[in-house]
Every structure is written in C-alpha cells, then in structure tokens.
Amino acid sequence: MSRLALVNIAVLGLLIGGALVAHLTGHAFLVTLATKAAIFALAGVGLNFALGYGGLVSFGHAAFFGIGGYVTGILASHAMSGTPLTTLPYTMNGTNEMLAIWPMVLLVSGLAALAIGALSLRTSGVYFIMVTLAFAQMIYWFAIGWPAYGGEDGLSFYVRNTFPGVPTMRPLNYFLICTALLLLALGFTAVVMRARFGLALQAARRNTQRTVAVGIRPFGIRLTAFVISAMITGLAGSLYADLNRFVSPAMLNWHMSGEIMVFIILGGVGRLMGPVAGAVVFVTMEHLLGGITEYWQVLLGLVLLAIVLWAPGGIVGMLSGRGRDNAH
Amino acid sequence: MSALLEIERVEAGYGPVQALFGVDLTVAEGEVVALMGRNGMGKTTTIRALCRLLPATAGTIRFGGTDLAALPPHRAARLGLGLVPEGRRCFAPLTVAENLVVAANPGPWDQPRVERLFPRLAERRGQSARTLSGGEQQMLAIGRALMTNPRLLILDEATEGLAPVVRQEIWAAIRALKAEGLSILLVDKSLRELSAVADRAVVLERGASVWTGPMAGLTPEMADRWLGV
C-alpha cells in the first residue's frame, strides 16, 4: 500500500474513529463536532472538484452552501407550519424528509451553478474569482432582504428532518448519515477523476490550448465540473442546516467561501482527502484554540501561511511525501 | 491524389503585428510535406492559424473539404487535425497512460498501438508525465496526437533539443507512420532527415510561401538562401 493511501485511510480513520470513541465515552458534543467536520469536509470536497482538479478558483461557493441550507430550511419550515410553498401553478408543500429535500437541494444548487458558471467561466484568473464572489454576495444580500424567510435573523426549524428508519436527533446517527454522504462524494470524485471527463478537466487546468488541440472544449467540461462541485457543496449546506436546525445569511457570506477554501488549502489542493484533513484540522483548532482566545484565527492564519510557504501540497501532500506531485 | 488540406493566401497576426502575408500550402492524402524556413518566418504561426488557435485575417483554410474559418479550434481538431505542438509539453498532472486516454477518439489508433510504436511509453505507463525525459515527452505528445486518430499529423519541431539517439527514434517513428499512409505536415530544422522522409517542401520567407516543390528540387543554393542562418 502506498504512503498516500495510508495517509488517506488515517485521515478518515481519525474522523470516524474519533466520533465513535466520543460516542462510547459519552461525549455527545464531540460527536456533533465531528459531524460539523464531516459536513465542512463535504463542502470542501465539492469546491475541490472545481478548484483543485479543474483550477477554477471559485470564491463564491458559499452561495451553494447557503442555497442548500435555505432550500432545506424553507422546505422544513413549511412542513412544520403546514402551509404550502406555492399554489401556482400547482400546490407545492414543504417536506421534512431528507430523502425528498436532498434531490431538491441538488437541483436548485445545480441550476444556480449553471447560471453562475455559464457567466463566470467566460472570464478567468482573478476576474473569475471576483465574478463568483459577486454572485455569492448578490445572493447573500437577497437573503438578508427576504423577510418571508427571516431576513437577517435567519430561519429556525426546531426539529431535525427525518431519515427513514434512523432517529436523526441522536448525534451518532446524524454523524453516520453525514459521513456516508461524505464517503459517497469522495468515491464519486475518485472515480470521475480517473475517467476521461476528469482527466480532461485536469488537463485543461494546466493548458487550455493543448486540450483544445486534442478536440476537447474546455468550457463545457469546466461548466459541468462547476455544476457538480456546487451540487456537492449545496448538499453539505443542507446537512449543515439540519445540524443546527437553523439557516442564516451567514452561510452565504464570503467568509464562508473563504473558510471552504481554507479547508482545501490546509489539507491539500487537488488531493482527494485534502478537504477532509483540512476540515478536521480546522474544526479541531476552532474547538481547542477558540476556548482559549477568540482571536484563534490569528493562529490559523499562521498555520495557513506556513502551509502555503513550506508545504504547498497541504497536510496530505506533506504526510504522503508528495509535496509537489499533485496527481490525486 | 486529392488534397486533404488546402491553405490559400492566408494572412494572420498577433494583435496589430501581422506575421503571415499570404501562405499557400496543400497536403494531399498520404503525403508528407515539410514546412521550411528560418526562425521567425511564420512556420509556427501558419500551424497555429491552421489549427484555429489564431484567427486567419484573410485567405481560406479547407480541410477535408470543410472550410475551417467558422469553426472553433476544438471542432477543427475533431475533424482530424492531430497537432503535436512545439515544446513537446504533455499534461503534467496526468500519468503517461492518462495522457493518452484523455485524447482518445475511436479509430485504428489506440493505447496498445501507440505503445507498440513507442515501447518506452509502455514501460512508463503509470508514471507522472512530468517525470519523463525530453525524448519520452515528445513520444508521448506524438502518441497523444495519434490517439485522436487524426487525418493529418502536424509535427512542430518534433526533434528540437533532443539527443541524437532519441532523435533517430523519433525519425524512425515518423517514417513508420508515413509507410502506413498517414498524411503528415512537419516543421524541422534537419534538412537531411526531412529530405529522407518528406515528399514535398513549402518554403516560407517573411510570412509568405515563396517556393514549393519536391524535396529533390530544393537545390543547395536555394537551401542556402532560404534556410541558411
């Protein structure tokens, strides 16, 4: 087994093992913390799909994280109040079933990404970063000015949505649901990046003209990757809303976009397990250092600086001894 | 022989700087044509215009009877233009095998056949492309172009900067491809090797084609005038 595979297993083992030990020793709060790490990791896996493999530096993925959260919150609040979302053209009711909410989340975040991506991907470099940021901020301000769903105060829905046969309010159960989705997303990413689509995406990251010369149109590939990326991050947003039973415009804020990017940079850009390692470290640091000082992000900043300067492959790259070679 | 590629009076440039002032060039089915001229005379620009990586401002480019003017570059490539760009760059994040797979189009050329042409690629199949030597990268770049199953293989300085032994390997492969009937347009500096493999030459001088004819017709005086440094 390669060193990289060992590192990957260790990262997942730390997350899952940590949650199980916390559960067995009765530390329910730590299980919830691990759940948060798994959800952030999933959001990072989504962004890594576009940023890490495709080189599309989206600074607006909070848009999809927040859209996932709001779709979940809106559906759940309507289910709770018993009022329909809309009666035109036909009656559409809310729902509190995760299996009904998730497809809706994937659909809405995918459509949003299709529109945002189709426009942003006409630019590149720093312009792409700014255009994605601008779209996310538009949605952020829209949410703040939307009183029907809480505006600036956000939207609470008190009871976690249901999953068939699983009492989701038990911390370990919800952790396992989130981790299962994380593993699915990781498996999906691994398979896609070895298929021709994923290879073309990675090829286009390095050189657009060479990709064109073998008959591949980078725009279509990049747009598809952007949409898939947004759907995964949107799903993470849905899980995050369910974790807190609360959504607010903060999920859409550019701080959130930055945090998702930090998970990837910490863990390793374009590494399969990079976002997982990054999210685990981020949540752990927030928990341990946040208890000591509210300025813990200063320390995070130093760690980030050290990684960017001395370990461009992130934690995964450093531990696997493949600091510069970023093929998977 | 019917013309596979017909370039007529093509002009092109980079922004305000015009680089091509009327290039005529044809390649027939199964023909190997050498595009010659000193540095800066427009060889690479001609190839970039042909592959639609640079817009032609005048003239026509027809490939297999299709006018390329309205096509985006990836569509032109899909018609069968197999470009091996100057500098033999591969897709660095991918392995050797992945570099081939990503370019694959249905046709007689597949990975096993490319690996038979360049056995070294088979040995390095799982290796990251960036760990290859210069010669191996060139083989991979040619292999990648062949994987698209092109009707015309375009080689821009395929042997530049390579060790003599590796160079001979590349030339041997080009001769093998010619023997199979593949149409090839090639740019190279080695007059001796070109004479051995090319059917015809087109000479560029200051962005325009000034002479075309069989390789044997290129006299030492002409070579000295147009190609000497």
Nearest chain A residue (CA) to B150: A214
Q: Give Cβ neighbours of residue A37 (< 8 Å, ≥ 6 apart).
A: A15, A279, A280, A282, A283, A284
A215 vs B95: CB contact, 8 Å cut-off?
no
Give the one of B85, B95, B147 whose C-beta lies nearest to A210's C-beta.
Answer: B85
Name the domain count of chain A.
Answer: 1
pLDDT of residue A328 exceeding 90: no
B85 vs A203: CB contact, 8 Å cut-off?
no
Structure tokens at A21: 């030990």
pLDDT tens, residue by residue, A269-315: 999 999 999 999 999 999 999 888 888 889 999 999 999 898 889 99
pLDDT at B229: 55
Work out the pLDDT band at A67, boundaries 50, 70, 90. Answer: very high
pLDDT tens, residue by residue, A235-254: 999 999 999 999 999 999 99
pLDDT at A324: 56
Instruction: Show the low-confidence residues of chain B (pLDDT under 70).
Output: 1, 88, 229
pLDDT tens, residue by residue, A7-41: 999 999 999 999 999 999 999 999 999 999 999 99
CA distance A226 to chain B (A): 19
A209 vs B85: CB contact, 8 Å cut-off?
yes
Structure tokens at B1: 């022989």
Q: Give domain status of residue A95, yes or no.
A: yes
Q: Give domain status of residue A58, yes or no.
A: yes
pLDDT higher at A78 or A322: A78
B93 vs A213: CB contact, 8 Å cut-off?
no
Alpha helices in chain A (DSSP H): 3-24, 28-51, 62-81, 98-120, 125-144, 171-194, 196-206, 208-213, 218-244, 254-267, 274-290, 296-310, 314-320
Report pTM: 0.91
pLDDT at B69: 87
User: What's the average model confidence in pLDDT over A63-87?
Assistant: 94
Instruction: List, as one string, the DSSP characters of B170-210.
Output: HHHHHHHHHHTT-EEEEE-S-HHHHHHH-SEEEEEETTEEE
Angle, in degrees to the nearest 10, between helices A125-144 and A62-81: 20
For chain A, what is the radius of gyration of the CA atoms? 19
- Residue pairs between chains A and B whose CB atoms are closer than 8 Å: 69
pLDDT at B88: 67
Q: Give domain status of residue A265, yes or no.
A: no
Q: Which amino acid is at B25?
A: L
pLDDT at B121: 96
Q: Give domain status of residue A320, yes or no.
A: no
Q: Give domain status of residue A263, yes or no.
A: no
Q: Does A3 touch chain B (CB under 8 A)?
A: no
pLDDT at A115: 98
Residues of B with CB below 8 A from A205's CB? 93
Q: What is the spatial distance between Cα B6 and Cα B152, in angstroms, rounded to a whole number?
A: 12
Q: What is the spatial distance between Cα A285 and Cα A280, in angstroms, rounded to a whole number?
A: 8
B148 vs A214: CB contact, 8 Å cut-off?
yes
CA distance A190 to chain B (A): 14
Q: How far is CA A27 from the centre of its chain?
A: 26
Q: Does B94 touch chain A (CB under 8 A)?
A: yes
Q: What are phi and psi of B34, to 5 degrees?
A: -100, 130
Q: Give domain status of residue A132, yes or no.
A: yes
- Domain coverage including residue A29: 10-251
Q: Give Cβ neighbours of residue B143 (< 8 Å, ≥ 6 apart).
A: B99, B100, B114, B115, B117, B118, B121
B102 vs A200: CB contact, 8 Å cut-off?
yes
Q: Give domain status of residue A303, yes or no.
A: no
Q: Identify whether the C-beta of residue A100 lies closer than 8 Å to the C-beta of residue A161.
A: no
Q: What are phi and psi of B6, to 5 degrees?
A: -130, 115
User: What's the average model confidence in pLDDT over A44-52?
Assistant: 97
A212 vs B77: CB contact, 8 Å cut-off?
yes
Work out the pLDDT band at A91, boundaries 50, 70, 90. Answer: confident
Angle at A50 between CA B127 and CA A3, to 5 degrees: 40
Q: Give domain status of residue A308, yes or no.
A: no
Give the one of A205, A209, A326 whose C-beta lies nearest to B53's C-beta.
Answer: A209
A210 vs B91: CB contact, 8 Å cut-off?
yes
